[in-house]
Amino acid sequence: EGKMVAALRKLGGDYILDTNFGADMTIMEEASELLERVINSDAVLPQFTSCCPAWVKFAETFYPEFLPNLSTAKSPIAMQAPTQKTYFAEKMGLDAKQIVAVAVTPCTAKKFEIRRDEMNSSAEYWDVPKMRDTDYCITTRELAKWLRAEKINFDELEDSTFDPLMGEASGGGIIFGNTGGVMEAAMRAAYKFATGEDAPQTLIPFEAIRGMDGAREADVVIGDKTLHVAAVHGTGNLRKFIERMRAENIHYDFIEVMACRGGCIGGGGQPRVKLPMADKAREARIASLYTRDAEVQVKAACDNPDIQKLYAEFFDGKPMSHKAHHMLHTTFVNRSEDLGPNGACTPATCPTSVPNLKKAAEAAKAAAEANN
């Protein structure tokens, strides 16, 4: 981590902040929203996570009926960026219009996410219509290419540290990037919010939700409530999960979804690993996050001193406040019409399915031959 921060400074970064801090912010809002939904008998359940932009886009296109179920909490970079251009800028005496916010992520879908129309909370805050919360998003693989192009050698760098205010994360923020990590982080915070006590050893580590199975589920007792939760990774696994949930009428309170196998650590922007070693690489990355989690003292986002300071000084003292809701929450769009006039398609009728693409190609070829 120290050499990564040093490398980013070498590339010209004036301030280097930890995206895991943004993960802590997401958990503050998402866990609070979950508790509100569980307590409110009229609320829509289950609550799905919304921090994976590929899953969000997938839901908007293929499962728009679940959009009311998605947490309105933004993803870590989508929370961190506007907070950098408001809270951080004010605290550091910076002109927000001069800030170029660059996110480094393992995810290619983040490139789409930062261009969503609604990702402009800092623009509304400063009344600068053209301001974007995140200006650029580069993948870890692109970062590696950039480092090579600039001939930066990690072995020759002295360790550096993140800048203050938004540079420290809890263990929950650290494990956010792997399948099951968001769920575990949320349960740690939700337990503390609801009971005032630290999450018990049954939740740290949350063994039932860890691992590489396509879907894992568990019951979590928080106060006088028992929450039925699940973690799913991979859209193929998700389709099967939803079919089973509907067929068997299974009630869930909270469902974590990540589009990539293994979670963010298996993102499309990560360094490529040849099969059959890919899962071993993912498992090694997951293990490293859990190892780091075990090393830190602060386990839950709500116990992060910098998070506490941020909320006390900027977000009106608590998650889900009016200001927090305006800046850290978002909306979703029904994109089912992208699939055609019927708003949906099956493998047999979908124009982009492999068999139908072959049929379309054959028809085009036949038409071209007939014209000749």
Q: Looking at the annotation, which residues are catalytic?
A: 30, 33, 51, 71, 110, 113, 118, 264
**Spatial distance between the Cα atoms of 228 and 42, rounded to a whole number of angstroms:** 18
Task: Provide the b/e sequence for 13-49 (b: ≥16 CB within 10 Å).
Answer: eebbbbbbbbbbbbbbbbbbbbbebbeeeeeebbbbb
CA torsion angle 289 294 295 300 (round to 10):
90
Burial class, 142, CB count within 10 angstroms (exposed 0-12 / middle 13-18 / buried 19+): middle
Q: Is 50 exposed, middle or buried (0-12, 13-18, 19+ CB in 10 A)?
A: buried
Interatomic CA distance for residues 240 and 228, integer angstroms: 18
Nearest 5°: phi and psi at 288?
A: -65, -35
Alpha carbon distance 139, 120 (integer Å): 21
Tokens of 21: 């801090």
| Phi (first) and psi of residue 71, to 5 degrees | -60, 140
Helix (H) or strand (E) holding 79: helix 76-83
Cβ(79)–Cβ(101) below 8 Å:
no
User: How far apart, in whole angstroms, are the C-alpha atoms of residue 175 and residue 161?
Assistant: 19
Place of tokens 């990539």: 260
Nearest 5°: CA angle at 302, between 329 and 1? 90
* Calpha distance 4→160 (Å, rounded): 8
